[in-house]
Chain A
Amino acid sequence: MTALAVEGVWKYYGDYPALRDIRFAVEPGQCTALLGRNGAGKTTLIRILAGLSRPTKGAVKLFGQDASVRATRAQVGIIGHGIGIYDELSALENLKLFAGLYALESPGRVAEEWLEKTGLARVKDGLVREFSRGMRQRLAVARAFLHNPRLLLLDEPFTALDDRAIALLQGLLRDALREGRTVLMSTHQLREALELATHVVLINRGKLAHTGERTAEMLADPGYLYRVHGEA
């Protein structure tokens, strides 16, 4: 079963088409890098895949089910531009909250486990408001992974991460891929992202410009795709 199937997705803002007939599929175990210039439509597409926006036309299927069904969200983990954790709650309270929202058994135990994994066990009762940026980023990563999602959607995950957080995230992603989970991340051809990617999807001005495997040329020269497959 395909992990993620994007079937003829269009998104209009008024009469302006931000996305035009996007079609591609991601199989389980793949790591797909979603590439494109600013304004190409990457964030619009990721928001649709995350269930934050509805396509004007077309459908998105997660593991065979239509993505508009709320229950499918339980299989998806998300890291977006904002870290998505509450400043006025403690690290432990935050993770317990999300574990509860994702209907996990024993949210307390899962929360503690993930605080360990992200090196935040020592500050579990500290309010997030008092955390450093790196600590918040690691907590955000914990939030995204704690319900063992089969699909990870990441919107420019490596931008603005410090070294420790990057290493943590790369490690978790490699583990996830090895376990057969699926990853889709939008990126600005950063090396950290392209290294992990097995496939690429290029969006240019709202249209699909290229899908295929991530080749060695792409890794060596990040601008390669843009030159070969139409620029923005």
Chain B
Amino acid sequence: MAFIRQMLTVAAKDLRSEVRTKEAINASLSFALVILLLFSFAFDPTSETTREIAGGLLWLAFAFAGVLVLNRSFARELPNDCLDMLNASPVPGAALFLGKALANYVLLLGIELVCLPVFGVFYNVTWYRHLGELVLVLLLATWGVTVVGTVFSALTVNLRLREIMLPMLMYPVLIPCLMAAMRLSTVLIGGEPITGDDVAWLRLLIGFDIIFTSLAVVLIDTVLIG
């Protein structure tokens, strides 16, 4: 249907722009790797400590680096008043939002998939023992981060201090999602499957994703058009 096509057109445009300029991707990836590096100085990475903090460390790196990509999402529409052209077009706000969210999702997942092996090498960790479940956690939690981040990117796009405002507003809202991701990732990287109590965290992620995607889709027109 036309909605899906418009959504994919927007996603493709964002990805094409990003691949061509590599502005956000380079900065974001470097930032994530630097964080992983810095943390190795913050404590002594024995295998005991590493196993306990693996999930936390990874998701901190993803969350901080991801902001650079998410910020760019609507900010890239500002030069030449392109955002106005998009808002004035027949593309529904929801299609515009989901298209951008999709592009951000792909970029964030790409960064995460590069960081994992690097993390494995730096910290001497076999992180792929429960690869399937880990990928599931990545997919669910990254979507949560993407959806909230893209909505706040739209909300802060016209603000002067956008680069500071976006992380400051976004992170508290993401706390439940990040907690779940950290907890589940720590368990999986430590070599255990997700069982019993931890299944609740998966359910939280799914609930979080559904609720915030719905809210974002409903509210996006209010955010974009004054």
Contacts and interface: CB of A to CB of B under 8 A. Distances in A.
Interface of A: 50-54, 70-74, 76, 78, 80-89, 93, 97-98, 100-103, 143
B85 A78 contact: yes
Nearest to B19: A88
Contacts of A82: 79-82, 84
Contact of B81 (A53, A83, A87, A93): A83
Given A53-B226, A86-B80, 13 more contacts: A52-B87, A73-B88, A84-B85, A87-B79, A89-B16, A89-B17, A97-B9, A100-B5, A100-B9, A101-B10, A101-B91, A102-B90, A143-B85
28 contacts: A50-B88, A51-B87, A51-B88, A52-B225, A54-B226, A74-B90, A76-B88, A78-B85, A78-B88, A80-B81, A81-B81, A82-B79, A82-B82, A82-B84, A83-B80, A84-B82, A84-B85, A85-B82, A86-B17, A86-B82, A87-B80, A88-B21, A97-B9, A100-B9, A101-B6, A101-B10, A102-B89, A103-B90
A101 B90 contact: yes
A101 B89 contact: yes
Contacts of A87: 79-80
Given A89-B16, A101-B9, A52 B90 contact: no
B2 interface: yes
Contacts of A81: 81
B160 interface: no
Contacts of A70: 90-92
Which 4 pairs, one residue from A and one from B, show the smallest C-beta to C-beta distance? A82-B81, A84-B85, A73-B90, A74-B90
Nearest to A77: B88
A73 B81 CA distance: 17
B226 to A, nearest CB: 5
Task: Say what secondary structure dominates the interface of chain B.
Answer: helix
Interface residues of B, number: 25
A87 B226 CA distance: 26
B86 A101 contact: yes
Given A52-B225, A53-B226, A103 B6 contact: yes
Contacts of B89: 73, 98, 101-102
**Chain A facing B: main interface SS:** loop
B84 A52 contact: yes
A98 B87 CA distance: 12
B90 A97 contact: no
Contact of A88 (B20, B84, B86): B20
Interface in B147-177: none
B95 to A, nearest CB: 9
Interface string B8-48: 01100100110011000000000000000000000000000
Nearest to B93: A70
Contacts of B86: 101
A78 B82 CA distance: 12
